[in-house]
């Protein structure tokens, strides 16, 4: 099979690495790809927002499956337009991608299907949002409705903070994503991520993970796209996975099918494990980044088989097999991230890091200049390792970090601390 992978981040490097291991793969293309992805794929300069151009490329190169990494092309309807052109796509259509594209859409679906989630209100003007927040009191959570690159959520400890966040949203801090606002109850518990493939009716549970969103050790400082992750998440016991499937994932898949907009692709459920059980914080309609990196390290099954079966509606009876080993990834970011940072500093030592058994370095933001690998983003490398336990994977990952020669980069030193301190 010929496959086109859309994206350029560490997540897509991990997907490319795993797809390349499939005996069913003939050619792998990536648009736009990256130096890391280029080790496994032919990178092509395609304008992904031009859906007609993507379809023409697929016809020219006899592409059998398009795998969409990030959410933006899905929300923009790339899967619909490719499907219309007769091309199989891994990833939901525009309507089903609203599960990530609109927080209010997901909250209303939860209310209609009786899925456990924080109590909420949806607002299109500041005054009614402020009145709701006042009536509920702090702590309370304020969210821009649309895609805001992970920056549209304020967990407000005080009412003043909540009111300021509401005003920011309606003043345009998140552009059109903030034209509507969700105000919701603050859930108390431990967060975990759960992933499942679905073809619109059959569901294959994947694995669990936990990530670290804050930039600083001890989960302090500003939010980021994610500074590290590990899998499995110890809090997601078999019983908790079963409840998540029965109370959250299955009702979501059935409700989407019932609306005539079946969800095909991967459901990434952000969960809060509360005293009363799992509650849905939010859905994403794509693999997590950097969660995909740890999932791919643990997956024993053929990824291409699974993604193709999902796209083709043949997931019934499929299973995903995982190594019992844990995996952990440490994000190396450019100094200054998530604020402003420089690009272009030289990175060496990846081969030395990867010579450690069970280590793989995924590239999230790199470029090649005159043959030298250089930093080209905020999050730059995902130094990933497996081990018999999360503690062993952590030790191996940090051993590999020591072999990376990149003085302009930094990383957190405590990825996995919660799992290690409680396990
Ligand atoms: P998001 O950008 O939607 O992933 O949200 C960012 C973070 O905000 C989540 O990972 C949670 O830590 C937190 N969060 C979102 N909603 C809630 C909620 N209802 N209660 C507590 N924390 C929340
Ligand atoms: N790691 C968080 C995300 O992919 O949204």
Paired residues of 30 in beta bridges: 5, 43
Q: Please give the model's pTM, rounded to 2 decimal places.
A: 0.95
Atom of ligand 1 nearest to the CA of 282: 3
What per-residue confidence (pLDDT) applies to 138?
93
100 lines ligand 2 (CB under 6 A): no
* Phi-psi map region of 63: left, alpha, beta (phi>0 left; psi -120 to 50 alpha): beta
404 lines ligand 1 (CB under 6 A): no
SS (H, E, C) the chain: CEEEEEECCHHHHHHHHHHCCCCCCCEEEEEECCCCHHHCCEECCCCCCCHHHHHHHHHHCCCCEEEECCCHHHHCCHHHHHHHCCCEEECCCCCCCHHHHCHHHHHHHHHHHCCCECCEEEECCHHHHHHHHHHHCCCEEEEECCCCCCCCEEEECCHHHHHHHHHHHHCCCCHHHHCCEEEEECCCCEEEEEEEEECCCCEEEEEEEEECCEEECCCEEEECCCCEEEECCCCCCHHHHHHHHHHHHHHHHHHHHHCCCCCCEEEEEEEEEECCEEEEEEEECCCCCCHHHHHHHHECCCHHHHHHHHHHCCCCCCCCCECCCEEEEEEEEECCCCCCCCCCCECECHHHHHCCCCEEEEECCEEEECCEEEECCCEEEEEEEEECCHHHHHHHHHHHHHCCECCCEECCCCCCHHHHHHC
Residue 303 has pLDDT above 80, yes or no: yes
284 lines ligand 2 (CB under 6 A): yes
187 lines ligand 1 (CB under 6 A): yes
CA atoms within 13 A on the CB side of 393: 29
Mean pLDDT of 228-235: 97
Report which of 68, 210, 186 is spatially closest to residue 138, judged by C-alpha positions. 186
Distance of CA 61 from the midpoint of ligand 2 (Å): 31
Between helix 10-19 and helix 291-298 the angle, nearest 10°, is 20
Mean pLDDT of 63-69: 98
211 lines ligand 2 (CB under 6 A): yes
**240-295: pLDDT as tens digits:** 999 999 999 999 999 999 999 999 999 999 999 999 999 999 999 999 999 999 99
Q: Judging by DSSP bridges, how do beta strands 88-90 and 65-68 pair with one another?
A: parallel
Distance of CA 79 from the midpoint of ligand 1 (Å): 28
Q: Which of 51-55, 178-182, 327-331, 406-410 has the lowest mean pLDDT?
A: 178-182
Distance of CA 256 from the midpoint of ligand 2 (Å): 23
196 lines ligand 1 (CB under 6 A): no
Which tops the pLDDT comparison, 152 or 3?
3
**11-28: pLDDT as tens digits:** 999 999 999 999 999 999
The residue to mutate among 151, 211, 219, having the most atoms of ligand 2 within 8 angstroms of its beta carbon, is 211
Calculate what percentage of the chain has a pLDDT beyond 70.
100
CA atoms within 13 A on the CB side of 242: 3
What per-residue confidence (pLDDT) applies to 171?
87
Atom of ligand 2 nearest to the CA of 226: 1
Residue 28 burial class via C-beta count within 10 angstroms: exposed 0-12, middle 13-18, buried 19 and up: buried
Distance of CA 258 from the midpoint of ligand 1 (Å): 28
What per-residue confidence (pLDDT) applies to 152?
87
288 lines ligand 2 (CB under 6 A): yes
**190-225: pLDDT as tens digits:** 999 999 999 999 999 999 999 999 999 999 998 888
What per-residue confidence (pLDDT) applies to 177?
81
71 lines ligand 2 (CB under 6 A): no
Q: Which residue has the tokens 């923009």?
A: 76
The residue to mutate among 10, 225, 233, having the most atoms of ligand 2 within 8 angstroms of its beta carbon, is 225
Ligand 1: residue whose CA is nearest its atom 13: 155
139 lines ligand 1 (CB under 6 A): no
Distance CA 414, CA 362 (A): 19
Distance of CA 16 from the midpoint of ligand 2 (Å): 18
Distance of CA 294 from the midpoint of ligand 2 (Å): 12
What per-residue confidence (pLDDT) applies to 123?
94
pLDDT band at 423 (very low <50, low <70, confident <90, very high): low
265 lines ligand 2 (CB under 6 A): no
Atom of ligand 1 nearest to the CA of 150: 2
Mean pLDDT of 314-321: 96
Are 208 and 192 a contacting pair, CB within 8 Å? Answer: yes
293 lines ligand 2 (CB under 6 A): no
- For residues 215, 216, 221, 225, the Cα torsion angle rounded to the nearest 10 degrees is 10
pLDDT, averaged across the chain: 96
What per-residue confidence (pLDDT) applies to 147?
84
Residue 290 Cα distances to 114, 207, 387, angstroms: 30, 14, 18
**30-40: pLDDT as tens digits:** 999 999 999 99
Distance CA 276, CA 259 (A): 29
Residue 185 Cα distances to 156, 162, 239, 246, 410, angstroms: 10, 12, 25, 23, 35
Q: Which residue has the tokens 């994947």?
A: 206
């Amino acid at each position: 099979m010929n496959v086109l992978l859309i994206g350029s981040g560490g997540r897509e490097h991990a997907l490319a690495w795993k797809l390349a291991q499939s005996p069913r793969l003939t050619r792998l293309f990536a648009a736009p790809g990256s130096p890391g992805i280029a080790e496994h794929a032919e990178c092509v300069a395609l304008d992904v927002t031009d859906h007609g151009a993507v379809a023409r490329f697929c016809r020219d190169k006899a592409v059998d499956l398009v795998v969409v990494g990030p959410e933006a092309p899905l929300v923009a309807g790339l899967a619909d337009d490719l499907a219309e052109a007769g091309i199989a796509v891994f990833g939901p259509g525009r309507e089903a991608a609203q599960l990530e594209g609109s927080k209010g859409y997901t909250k209303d679906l939860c209310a209609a299907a009786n899925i456990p989630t924080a109590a909420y209100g949806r607002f299109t003007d500041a005054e009614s949002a402020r009145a709701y927040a006042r009536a509920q009191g702090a702590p309370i959570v304020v969210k821009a409705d649309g895609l805001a690159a992970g920056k549209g959520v304020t967990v407000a400890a005080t009412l003043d903070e909540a009111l300021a966040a509401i005003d920011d949203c309606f003043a345009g801090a998140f552009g059109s994503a903030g034209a509507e606002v969700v105000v919701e109850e603050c859930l108390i518990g431990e967060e975990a991520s759960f992933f499942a493939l679905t073809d619109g009716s059959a569901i294959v549970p994947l694995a669990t993970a936990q990530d670290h969103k804050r930039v600083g050790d001890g989960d302090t400082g500003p939010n980021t796209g994610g500074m590290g992750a590990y899998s499995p998440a110890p809090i997601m016991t078999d019983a908790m996975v079963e409840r998540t499937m029965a109370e959250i994932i299955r009702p979501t898949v059935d409700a989407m099918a019932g609306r005539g907009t079946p969800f095909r692709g991967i459901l990434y459920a952000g969960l809060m494990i509360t005293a009363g059980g799992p509650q849905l914080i939010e859905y994403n309609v794509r693999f997590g980044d950097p969660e995909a990196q740890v999932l791919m390290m643990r997956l024993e099954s053929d990824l291409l088989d699974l993604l193709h079966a999902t796209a083709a509606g043949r997931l019934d009876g499929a299973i995903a097999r995982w190594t019992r080993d844990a995996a952990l990834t440490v994000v190396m970011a450019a100094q200054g991230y998530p604020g402003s940072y420089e690009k272009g500093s030289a990175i060496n030592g990846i081969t030395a890091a990867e010579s450690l058994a069970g280590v793989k370095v995924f590239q999230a933001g790199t470029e090649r200049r005159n043959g030298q690998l250089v930093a080209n983003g905020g999050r730059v490398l995902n130094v990933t390792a497996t081990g018999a336990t999360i503690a062993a994977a952590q030790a191996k990952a940090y051993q590999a970090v020591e072999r990376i020669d990149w003085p302009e980069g930094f990383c957190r030193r405590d990825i996995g601390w919660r799992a290690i301190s409680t396990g």
